[in-house]
Amino acid sequence: MENVKFRALSMCILIFVVVCNFLFSDGIRWTKYNVESGFNGYRCIPSLTVFETNTADASACGKLCHSDSMCSSFIYQQDDLKCIGCMVDLFGQRLSNPVVQLPGSTYYRSHRVDCKDILENNRAAASGIYEIKPWKSKSKIKVLCDMETNGGGWTVFHNRFNGTVDFYRNFTDYENGFGDTAGEFWLGFKYIEEMAKTGRSELMLQVTAKNGSTGHEIADGFTMIHGNEYSVYFEEHFYNHEKHGLPYEHECLPKIANEPFTTMDRDMFEFEDNCAEEMHSAWWYLNCVYVICDLHGKYGKNGPAGYYHRGITGLEPLKASRMMFRRK
């Protein structure tokens, strides 16, 4: 019996040593966490808590969070050495009450969850490709950031300018993304939806005509609703739509709002033909008869089964387009 107890104790000590060596090793690239003072004095509610334990300091707590795939941010209370891992990034959360008070605590979150984070961390950041880690999936992805337009901080999810990438794709491609962030691409619905949920966001659509003239639309209160439809949704109490450089009355963003996304293999209309097949595209169609814009149509082709925005060129093909969002 004594031998069994001794072996059990030895095993516990061995596990403790292994864990300590892991947590305090120097060869691992740990996630960098930064203090978000707006949540100091609070902690995530129990339903959003991944773990709650004691550590020697905030650095050790951060290493625990890094090591747990469910942990997105953490709280550290120095007086009680309390370390609390949270499964969400509390910054910008849409939940009504994601926190409760915990006096003396400090909140830490990992930056680079979108292009706005990168800009806030470095005001001199230039437009280009960056690596980020969305708050929920925590899977590293490369994104194109526009750090110049309207103050910068925009995460680009649609980019076309030369027709080298075919946008007539199936639903799986649109969900996972395709193309190259260094060229033409679609980021992927699963990433767009995740990042748009980190807080109140605005959506921008930019178009360039063949003659070089440009126009854009901006709408506030943007989010994306999955439910197998990936609909663009604008929260009513935040919604505000503006357009610039579009000589015609046609507005694209209000027309695609709340419409399901249709692809060649996923027809979202019960009583009509598949609009994606008919238009040789994939888009948020209200119907197949009168489409205000289609940025995924065949490049270089006139509408209505082409690549156009009626607000700037009528049905003549566009030269380039971008869609991007920014957390407010």
Mean pLDDT of the chain: 87
The structure's pTM equals: 0.74
The CATH architecture annotation of domain 13-110 reads 3-Layer(bba) Sandwich (3.50)
Highest average pLDDT, of 203-212, 216-225, 296-305, comes from 203-212
Contacts of 263 (CB under 8 A, 6+ apart): 169, 170, 171, 174, 276, 282
Domain ranges of the chain: 13-110, 115-327
pLDDT (tens digit per residue) in 30-39: 777 888 888 8
Query: Is the model's pLDDT at 247 over the cut of 90?
Result: no
**Predicted local confidence at residue 69, as pLDDT:** 78
User: In which band, very low, low, confident or very high, does the pLDDT at 14 lie, cut at 50, 70 and 90?
Assistant: very low
**The pLDDT of residue 298 is above 50:** yes
Which CATH superfamily includes the segment(s) 115-327? Answer: Gamma Fibrinogen, chain A, domain 1 (3.90.215.10)
Grade residue 136 by pLDDT with cuts at 50, 70 and 90: low
Alpha carbon dihedral 18, 106, 119, 63, in 10-degree steps, equals 0
Q: What whole-number percentage of the chain has pLDDT above 70?
A: 87
- Which residues share a beta bridge with 218? 204, 242
DSSP category for residue 266: B
The region of weakest confidence among 32-41, 91-100, 193-202, 235-244 is 91-100
Report the sign of the C-alpha dihedral through residues 180, 181, 182, 185, in that order.
positive
pLDDT at site 266? 92
Predicted confidence at residue 95, as pLDDT, reads 58
Domain 13-110 identical in fold to domain 115-327 = no
Q: Which amino acid is at 160?
A: R
Q: Measure the CA angle with vertex 125, ends 26 and 205; round to 5°.
A: 125
